Structure 1
Amino acid sequence: MILRALALTVLLASASGATAQVREEPTAVSPVTVMPPTLPPKVVATYPAQGETIAPGVLIVKVAFDQKMNPRAWNYGVAEGGEPLECIKTPRLLNDQKTFVLLCRVLSNRTYRVALNGERAGGFANLGDNPAEPLVLTFQVVRGEPVTSIARALKAAGLKSDEEPIAEAPKPPVRPAP
């Protein structure tokens, strides 16, 4: 409808001897996304749970938040009075965009205290970069039948097989032979 009116205006202007001016320069638009203000994300579940006692071996630490999170914003470390976790460096954000998982190894007869967002810079934050409140997750490991496979660790954390803490890198494109 608008295009017809514009075409009719140009046609009438041409017929009357006037020249229509058409702007040919593109209009620049900034690629900025403005997020609405949000409340700080809250931890709604962890594995191990706060104060839980677990078996030694392979552990998948799971931290679930109440809102979608930034996959590149996180930090964790040892809190005062706890043993340092032996983990891969980077947690994975699962497809629900609310749950982070981290592959670790824990030893018997230890108390672990994990500081989440212990350092304010670069910590767990939602999509609007609003950081989660700091939290210290404390759990104990006792002697017992060790968890020796990722499959058992996934089951203990209540995760499915496609929620492993290590995501495969995308396969490179196949190039045809010359």
Structure 2
Amino acid sequence: MRGTMATVALGVALLWGSAYAQEITLDAVPPVVVETVPKAGSGDVDPSLAAIRVTFSKDMQDGSWSWSTLSKETFPETTGSPKYLEDERTAALPVRLEAGKTYAIWINSQRFRNFKDAKGQPAVPYLLVFKTRE
């Protein structure tokens, strides 16, 4: 009996999984971060870098972003207003970085979700962490 129940459960899971997979489209899923400058996890970032850039998988809403702090100490000093580049997928935040410092910035977060695609769907939160060289 146990084998039969396990087989039925597996069959239901496979049917449900394949039905769910058929519903997934690029248009339906939320945008995700596909590239950052500096690259996440970098430990030798040039402190003269003048802007942090984040590129998403979809066109994004201009004027809508959530560059959020992990902590006050790890968020960079900003030198201007954020903006999207002409590709409508890359957001840029003008910054002034310090040498030998670790930075951590949420691109959206649990609380702040204003990076949104053109249809208003919030991007999946992403934690960008990097360190500048001495």
- For the criterion TM > 0.5, the same-fold answer is yes
Q: Which runs of 5+ in 2 are unaligned?
A: 1-26
Question: Which has the higher Rg, Structure 1 or Structure 2?
Answer: 1
Structure 1 length normalisation: TM-score? 0.55
Pairwise CA RMSD: 2.0
Mean CA deviation greater in 132-141 or 90-99: 90-99
Per-residue CA deviations over 1:55-97 (Å, capped at 9, x if unaligned) read: 2234311100111100121011221496221014531111111
Displacement of 1:128: 0.6
CA contact under 8 A between 1:38 and 1:128: conserved in structure 2? no
How many percent of aligned residue pairs carry the same amino acid?
A: 27
Q: Which runs of 5+ in 1 are unaligned?
A: 1-36, 144-178
**Which consecutive aligned stretches of 4+ in structure 1 deviate over 6 angstroms post-superposition?**
none
Which residue identity is paired with 2:31?
Answer: P
Which residue identity is paired with 2:133?
Answer: V
Structure 2 length normalisation: TM-score? 0.71
Q: How does 1:36-51 map to 2 (within 5 A)?
A: 38-51=28-41
Selected match of 2:78 from 80, 87, 94: 87
Q: How does 1:36-115 map to 2 (within 5 A)?
A: 38-52=28-42, 53-80=44-71, 83-88=74-79, 90-115=81-106
Instruction: Flag the structure with higher helix content.
Output: 2
Which residue identity is paired with 1:48?
Answer: P
Alignment partner of 1:137 is 2:128? yes
**Cα gap change, 1:119/1:107 in structure 2, threshold over 3 Å: closer, same or farther?**
same
